[in-house]
Amino acid sequence: MARYDVFLCFRGRDTRHTFMGNLYAALRQARLRTFMDEGVLKGGDVADTIIQALEASRVSIVILSETFASSRWCLDELVNILDCMKTKNQTVIPIFYNVDPSDVRNLKGSFGAAMVAHEDGFGKDNERLQKWRSALTQVANLSGCCLGTGSRFGYEYEYIERIVRSVTLVIPRYNIFVSFSGKDTRSFSGFLYNALSRRGYHTILNDGDQSSQSTTVGVIEKSKLSIIVFSENYARSPSCLDELLRILECKEMKNQLVCPIFYKVLPSDLRHQRNSYGEAMSEHENMMGKDSEKVKIWRSALFEVANLKGWYMKTGYEYEFIEKIVELASKISRVSS
């Protein structure tokens, strides 16, 4: 069974075509693998599939709407969700959609009427009914979001953005280290950092021109993905080149993923040390000596990284290029989970 980030529990009669559709789209846009039951039948293989999806999720969002408690299926699903919260440490986020949390907690209003209707069918002391009552009280005491109608309650998209942010804080995302030369790419690297951070990745942006090697090594080791933005002046910075060495060491020893970005330079410039990269290496040799072992190691590292699969940016809109890089990070996350 595929692993999901988010499981959505809701009453389709109240929310499917408006709020739920928009919430599902927003979660998917944030690259969160989200399970939403699109079917109508609730039994047999369908039920087994839904339970498996629930158990394979990290977060459950429960949309408590006016007729939620009228559905036996929704109530059974809620009981299972709270069981997963206890046994699998799953996070549960209740959304009170046009209902008061106190009505859910104290079984009043439509929730009280639904319980009375269930009592008529099952009997007041039915064990299943008691589990439903307990689950509603329990979920109403969890931290969640109250969403109503009318201007004083705000717009639905604002609540949806808040919910997505809450989920991204819960879902563990891996660390990403970004190495760059501030002389060339501070603006581009800043936008890349913001885009990755918005998706919930713990992103460390390090300007090699001003970096301290002692503080950088540990950060690189803890990262799962290193993005190296190669630009015209990258190789002129000894700190950038030392970062590159450490990144390639982690690639070899820790199976770290490395994504080179060739920002207005050619991979062949690194591979053959031509143009600004040839000039930079000559400058380092003048400073350290032509037979310097350090310069030889830097040259070897540039040749190695130039042969890795990466991204070459020469023309076009930067934001489109950044979106492709963020999508790559998301694909890595899906494969590794």
Which residues are catalytic, by number?
77
Q: Show Cβ contacts of residue 134 under 8 Å, excluding neighbours closer than 6 positions.
A: none
Strand-strand pairing, 202-207 and 175-180: parallel
End-to-end Cα distance, the chain:
13
Q: Three-state SS for 322?
A: helix
Structure tokens that stand for 239 in this block:
């700190």
The Cα–Cα gap between 248 and 304 comes to: 9
Cβ neighbourhood burial of 18 (10 Å; 0-12, 13-18, 19+): exposed
DSSP state letters, 71-131: -HHHHHHHHHHHHHHHHS--EEEEEEESS-HHHHHTT-HHHHHHHHHHHHHH-TT-HHHHH
